[in-house]
Structure 1
Amino acid sequence: MNGPTLRTLTGAVAANVAGIRTRTRSMIMAVVKADGYGHGAVTVAEAAVAAGAGWLGTTSVGEACALRAAGLAVPILAWLHASGVDAEAAAAAGVDVAVGSVDELGALVAQAASTVRVHLHVDTGMSRGGCPRRQWDELIGVAQRGHRARRVRVVGVMGHLPLADRAEPAANAAAVAGMREALKAVRAAGLGSPLAHLAATSGALTDPATHFGMVRIGAGLVGIDPSGTVEMHGASRLTAPIVHTSAVPAGTPVGYGGAYVTYRAAHLSVLPVGYADGIPRELSPRAGVEVRGRRFPVAGRVSMDQIVIDTGDRYFPTGTSATVFGPDGGATPSVHDWAHWAGTIPHTIVTGIGPRVRRSIA
């Protein structure tokens, strides 16, 4: 009997890349941070590149080097550097780095022994990272000095859209204007015509004005559209076997605190997944899983290692497979259903599946 398994559906990743391609003429970067949104960074990256993504994106240089070690040769950008930019590793692996502050760029210029490809990260309204507008001139000045010393080469300018999930192009206008201003300043400084990228999944799907030279697709790779405007292909299926079943009378309390009480005689089945595996502890009473074509409710509170489902008059033997979520529709819940039941976003569902859950590729 196999334990809980998360299957990554590479065909769905490819279909999502193809869907994005119909909406933009810009290059596509497949962002595989957070281990490919919980689906396996290398697995998702390979599927996306095979489907036409020309770039990959990661948070760190270390993650980018792991993709290189797996044989992925397309350009890769890393843009979060918790311990500073590892210039030597980036240059050796041919990994681009985004730099969003004067101090960070200055440190990179000071330590680089060979030329590092840099994307200037400018704040276009997120106030979460990127160089603030008042320091753009200083940032560009440091880039000029690094360029003259052959320590850095500016090949890109990036920003973020803080309001793209609204799917209203007017909400993106200020960020688009900021990106154009930054590009103009970089070109005027003699740093060439770098690749500009501003939009993530929502912008790519809803606002062509944000596309510039490249769009960055992360959640969209695995079937999540944060704007809620486009139906995409879910790229994962989480299954778990029934490990225990009991028949109980009406009025039986279930789980810690007895928050759920059976209203008639029923069968209760236990699945070996819990909040330590990424199942949200706080769920609405509508939460359920699919077993043999029917949806059955989660009964009682989620435990650390298990959940209970009420299958009513249906008895299922040990080893019967239940689908916690998947892309199938009908009785099978989606990650969006689980996000709704937990009062969160689908990103937290797929990235929260823990390491005890076996991974496979389909």
Structure 2
Amino acid sequence: MADGILQARDDAAALVAGVQAVVPGARFSVVQFRDSFDAPLEYRVEQPMTTDGAAVTAALGRLAAGGGGDAPEAHNLLFHQAAAADPAVGWDTTPAGAAKFLVVLSDAEPHGAGRSGAGGCIDISGDPHGYVTKAELAGPDGLAGRGIGLFMVLEPGALSASLPCYQNLALLAGGPSRGFVGGTDLAAQLVPLVTGTPTVAFDVHVGVTADVAGAASWVTTSPTSYTAVPYGSTVTPDVVVTVPKTASNGTANLVLTAFADGVPVGSSTLAVTVTGASGGGGGGGGGGGGGGGGGGGGGGACGGSTPPAGAIVGTPGPDDLMGTVGNDVIWSLGGDDTVRGGGGLDTICAGPGNDFVYGEAGDDVLYGESGDDRVYGGDGADKVQGSDGSDVLNGEAGSDRLGGGLG
């Protein structure tokens, strides 16, 4: 925590100046908290509300890391005192209608945070004062009920807390509350939220849940997260689903949720169907687009060994094939091919080889077949199916169905 306190000192003046530049007369207070073992430093007001940035910096200079004995700290006491408008802090003299925020810089979890419903929090210890994290944050007498925004800042070197925990604790308080990583320019991140003018999300990532135990771990994204993403812009990570050989036959529904500074901003359900498993499973990739069911192996227009009449057919070597504006059936045969469906309701059968397949517009059916393929659904409600090899499947726009094969 020592590094975090040094960072907080450096950020204090910039944070005060940044807020007061937009909200003249904004006031700040500093409170030190540790744990019940560390009385009288479990909770102590170092600086009552003031407009003096130098006084805030001086108060932070009096803080030092120490104490402990267990991992969690007295966050719940801090939340409770803030919501109760502790007179020593000076919130009881705050003008009516003034916005209130609590900025918590810490490297630990609150007592019992793992029972709060905040994802990522794991501590289940009892609070020495009997406080309950969820009630202190989301209850009618907690921060949410009092209209107090919460900024949870995870300091460098934290060993017993995580960013997802802090982000989800902040969400319990509602409003503009957020969770951040310390050791960065806190002023740049907090001032827009304090003043109600945010333009950038500092942590954008995809979280995964599943209805089959362990299936969420099948999903990896590249990159794992984005920083400084302007509001209104779009980022598209590669999402890869790798099904382990120990997977059982059946369908796993994977819910991919996009988070911006801990706030869910969109989700998609990807159904991965495992077939042919007998102590061994399949592997596949997935990404983008909407959700739906995943399917088994090839069939229909791609079944058999002879292309149907009227199909666009490639050669055994590398091809660049393009469909029409109508409903096409395209067989690429062998080689490392690039196939584009164009408009219409297309069926594309990519043969052996490492192929790039693009469904483009329309509700398409795309089969990767053998080889390490990259298959992109494009617009529409597409069915995207991998096969042998290490495939990357991306549904893109629309409500799509993706299924991995062996590999």
TM-score (norm: length of structure 1): 0.25
Larger helix fraction of residues: 1
| RCO higher in structure (CA 8 A, sep ≥6) | 1
Q: Which has the larger radius of gyration?
A: 2
TM-score (norm: length of structure 2): 0.23
